[in-house]
């Protein structure tokens, strides 16, 4: 993840947030730190297209919440 972020000129968190958004995943970043909130919003302007393959390779199909497609 570090190489991917460095290649995009952003933080690791920004690369992860932008990749999730580009994939259509719902993410809800939370922070009470104003600098971190601004950093999270700036992730929308990050371009991770060149690192897409590397980020896709990190996918583990982990679901951290209720999945309505598999459970009633």
**pTM more than 0.75:** no
Distance CA 32, CA 20 (A): 21
Give me the mean pLDDT over the 12-37 stretch: 89
Tokens of 38: 């601004």
Give me the mean pLDDT over the 34-57 stretch: 85
**pLDDT of 72 above 70:** no
pLDDT of residue 5: 61
Q: What rounded mean pLDDT belongs to the chain?
A: 80
pLDDT of residue 40: 93
- Report the alpha-carbon angle 35-38-41, nearest 5: 150
pLDDT of residue 6: 60
pLDDT of residue 56: 67
Q: Identify the burial level of 24 via C-beta atoms within 10 angstroms of its C-beta, where 0-12 means exposed, 13-18 middle and 19 or more buried.
A: exposed
């Amino acid at each position: 993840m570090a190489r991917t972020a460095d290649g995009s000129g952003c933080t690791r968190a920004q690369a992860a947030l932008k990749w999730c958004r580009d994939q259509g995943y719902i993410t809800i970043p939370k922070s009470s730190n104003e600098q971190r909130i601004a950093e999270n919003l700036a992730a929308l302007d990050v371009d991770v297209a060149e690192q897409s393959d590397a980020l896709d390779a990190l996918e583990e199909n982990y679901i951290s919440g209720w999945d309505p497609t598999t459970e009633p």
